[in-house]
Every structure is written in structure tokens, then in C-alpha cells.
A = this chain, B = another copy of it.
Amino acid sequence: LSDLLDPLFTTEKMRELFSGRARLQAMLDFEAALARAQAKCSLIPAAAVAAIAAQCDAALYDIDALARATAQAGNPAIPLVKALTERVAGDDSNAARYVHWGATSQDAMDTGLVLQLRAALALIQVDLVRLSDALARLAHTHAATPLAGRTWLQQATPVTFGLKAAGWLSAVERHRQRVHALRATVLVVQFGGATGTLAALGAQGPDVAAALADELGLALPDLPWHAHRDRVAEVATTLGLVTGSLGKIARDVSLLMQTEVAEAFEPSAPGRGGSSTLPHKRNPVSSAAVLAAALRVPALVSVMLTAMVQEHERGLGGWHAEWDTLPEIATLTAGALAHVVATMEGLDVDAARMAVNLDISHGMILAEAVTMALAERIGKPHAHERIERACRAGVAEGRTLRAVLSDDPVVSAHLTAADLDRLLDPRRYTGQARWFIDRVLSVRPRDR
């Protein structure tokens, strides 16, 4: 659907990995490996392997013809196996007898999918590491760069930009671990034959299954999982979690880029973020693409979960619903990740503007600092009430918090002018920002 939009929403590598051609190749890789495994187990003649393997190249097949046949057959493995058998037969009619021996179409499709997912998760990991590195640099560099902390979209108390980056980084590190852990669960072969009993292979089923897994570098699961989709659904949920965090980062960046805030910006480049009519704008193009992914992926995850309700030994409709959905999740996640990587590797941080914005509340962003200091003397309820009154007065009269407090006899009785100067300096009220940053940085793996 989206030849025009793919470069905005995904990466070329990930898109390529889930192309129709790549899907065919992954199934053909299964078929070739199956032949090798069965020859190893002496189930089929060694001579048949080369004849079969020679035809296991997706470039040999007419994808449009297969697509049309898929519409009749109900899945692409059926016409592919038929075409493969015909090609092998053209070369070696004896070998053709052994194509797809004992397997079912879903064995080829699911194992092929697992092979695609192995490559996809590797791509995701590479970019998570790049993102982690970029964020670690930002956390380190800006560990002491103060800016307004914002809650409910209101300035609250100061933070540092390094702390903000460390928060993003911490989530990214958790996602790295999730994706890593996922590999152990999902990288398993699918091989069960018609209803998951391997009956067609007689006594040799276990040996062939083990040899097949070995050929493909995949684990052998306890039993075939044709209608048990938690593994592939977990790929979806894990990538959904990743995309959620990417969306959070993009939302932050786009809010920081607002004309009225202007504290950090996506990197600029010719032709990037310009408007067709407004020459002065700097649109958060990457953030828009990431936010779009963060809106789309959760719904696609819900499809994968709803589709888990698959009937009996192999399901109807649920399995079919996965075929485009999981690739779409992977490609959107990859695209969002690439955008955030590029943004963070080239983020344009305006520390001066951050300092300016810390001032626009006339010191009220530090109300808590004064409240806590005062609370140590007169108790939190009274302190809270006193400072709240001062803030209201300041807003009403257009005066700074500093000015209002200086006039307050209760405050003056407990806090000196120097106390107020110190308390109202945002750089001095960033709490444990550095400690938190160090904790996050320290858990990153040194050596990758």
C-alpha cells in the first residue's frame, strides 16, 4: 500500500526483510534445510538434497503468480511447495518425491517467519544499542544542565536535561534486555506435519525434527505450536513496549520544540521539516513519524493477541490475521527506532533557552524548595499554605516569588535573604539528578 510512505515510516532493511520475496526465501530455506535434515537421517536419498536445494532460491519464482494462487489456496506455502516440486521434478523426478516430505504448509510458513524474526530482532538490537549510546552521551553531557521539570504539562520543579535523557535511557536498556530474552523463547523451529504429530515420518520424526532445528540454528520446542501463538504474540507485545517508549521520547521532543518552549530540536537538514508555505517553521518530522507508530502499533499488538484464539490443531482466520500484522509491527518499530536514533545522535539542545524558561514562573517553580525549607521550621501544612498564598499573590500582582516572600514576616522570621537566594536558584534544586544518572549509566553493559 505504502510505497510512497515507507521511507518515512520504516527502514529499508526492515522493509526488505519482510518483503514478499523475503517471505518466499524464508520458506524455501525451511524446505532446503528439511531436505538436508532428512538426508542426514537417511529418510531421503542424499542425492535428492542438491536437486531440491538448487530450486530453493526465491528469485526463481513468479511472485505474482504465487500471489494469485495464494488467494485460491488460502496460504502461500501451498502454491510455493507445488511450484518447488514442479521445478525439482523438471530437473530430477526422483528428488521431487521428497520435497516438503512429512511437513505441512504451516511448518514452512512459521519456521520461515521465525527466521525472518531472528534477523528482525537483530536489527532492532543494533539500533537499541545505538540509541543507548546516544542517550548515554546526552545524560553524561547534560548531567548538570537545568531545565524546568514538567508534570501535567505544567512547570513543576527543576530537573536536568541529563536526568531526562537518563530516564529515556533506562527504558531503552530494559527494552534491550527484553528483546534479548525474547530470542530464547521465539527462535524455535515449527515442525509437526498435518496436525502436529509428525505421523507421516513414522519413527524418525524426533530425529528429523532435531536435525532440522540444528540445520537452521533454531531450538527444538517441546512440541509443535501451530495453534499456540504466544511466542509470536510475545514478539508483538515486546515491540509494542519498545514503540511505547519511543513514542514517549518523541512526545517529549516535540513538546520541547514548540515555538514557545524551544529548548531542544531534532537535527535539521536541507529539505527536512520545512513547510510548503511557512518558511520559518521547523517541523518535528521524526517525532511525527514516531508518534504515528506509537498510535498504530498498540492496535496491531491487540490484533496479535485477539488472533491467539486459534481453533484446534491449526486455526482459521486467527493465523491469517498475523501474516501482515506482525511484519507491520516490526517495520513500524524499526522506523520509529531509526528516527529516534537519528534525533538523539544529532539533538540540538539549547541550554540557554532552558535557563530562560526556568525563569518565566517568576521563581514559583522553586516554591517547593522554599516550602520544604520552611516546613522544617513550621511544619509542612503551614508551610504549604503560606507559600501557596505567596504564589497566588505573586501571580495576582505580577511580582516574583522572591519579592513576595521578602515581604512576608513569617518567612523572614525563618529564612534570611541569603537563604532565599540559595533556595530560589534552580541549579541548586535538582536533587539526586546526578546520582540517578550515574545509577543508570553504571548498569549499561561495558562491552557489546
Contacts and interface: CB of A to CB of B under 8 A. Distances in A.
A141 interface: no
A372 to B, nearest CB: 4
Interface stretch (A118-126, A310-318, A408-416): A310-318
A424 B69 CA distance: 32
Interface stretch (A34-42, A128-136, A211-219, A238-246): A238-246
A71 interface: yes
Contacts of A149: 194-197, 312-313
Contacts of A250: 309, 317
A143 interface: no
Most buried by B among A4, A255, A357, A371: A4
A57 interface: no
Contact of A104 (B248, B277, B367): B277
Interface string A142-154: 0000001111111
A397 to B, nearest CB: 14
Interface in A1-55: 1-9, 15, 18-20, 23-24
Contacts of A395: 280
Shortest 6 CB-CB distances between A and B: which pairs? A291-B317, A149-B195, A244-B308, A199-B431, A197-B431, A97-B379
A167 B151 contact: no
A420 interface: no
Given A228-B170, A317-B295, A244 B233 contact: yes
Interface residues of A, number: 201
A295 B229 CA distance: 15
A365 interface: yes
Contacts of A337: none
A74 B273 contact: yes
Nearest to A181: B181
A272 interface: yes
Interface in A223-277: 223-231, 233-234, 237-238, 240-241, 243-245, 247-248, 250-252, 254-255, 257-261, 269, 271-277
A111 to B, nearest CB: 14
The quantity of this chain's copies bound in the complex is 4
A414 to B, nearest CB: 14
Contacts of A2: 1, 20, 323-324, 327
Given A170-B222, A258-B260, A305-B301, A241 B248 contact: no
Given A96-B379, A168-B228, 15 more contacts: A4-B23, A4-B63, A4-B67, A105-B275, A156-B278, A157-B278, A167-B223, A230-B241, A247-B308, A248-B310, A251-B311, A259-B360, A280-B401, A295-B306, A295-B307
B195 A313 contact: no
Interface string A276-294: 1111111111011111111
Given A302-B301, A328-B1, A167 B196 contact: yes
Contacts of A324: 1-2, 5, 9, 296
A158 B193 CA distance: 12
B301 A301 contact: yes
